[in-house]
Amino acid sequence: MNDNGEVELAAIYLLPKFQRKGIGSKMLEQGIKELSPKKVYVNVEFGNITGKEFYKAKNFEVIDNIEEDFFGHKLKMTRMVLKIKK
């Protein structure tokens, strides 16, 4: 966490057979509970509709579309943020 109370979520990955069972939601909730951030940022691959919908359902907002270099490959990403209300 940085000095402004902001954290970066790298990813939440679950095998398809474990999706839509509340596991990802619990993982996100536990991380927020333990860290108590003011904001959580995440980058989701542009074509990952399931991922974007998951984060939108958790009140993340789209703030930008960016390109990242991933070991020489350009990835189009959607940058999202969750502002925590305390």
Report yes or no: 49 and 67 within 8 Å, Cβ to Cβ.
no
The helix or strand, by DSSP H or E, that contains position 69, with its residue range, turns out to be strand 61-70
Q: What is the DSSP string of 13-59?
A: ---GGGTTSSHHHHHHHHHHHHH--SEEEEEEETT-HHHHHHHHHTT
For the entire predicted model, the pTM comes to 0.91
> Would you tell me which CATH number, out of the four given (3.40.50.300, 3.40.630.30, 3.90.25.10, 1.10.1200.120), belongs to the domain 6-83?
3.40.630.30
Q: Rounded mean pLDDT of 16-42?
A: 96
Domain positions in the chain are 6-83
Q: Rounded mean pLDDT of 17-28?
A: 96
Q: Tell me what pLDDT residue 54 has.
A: 96
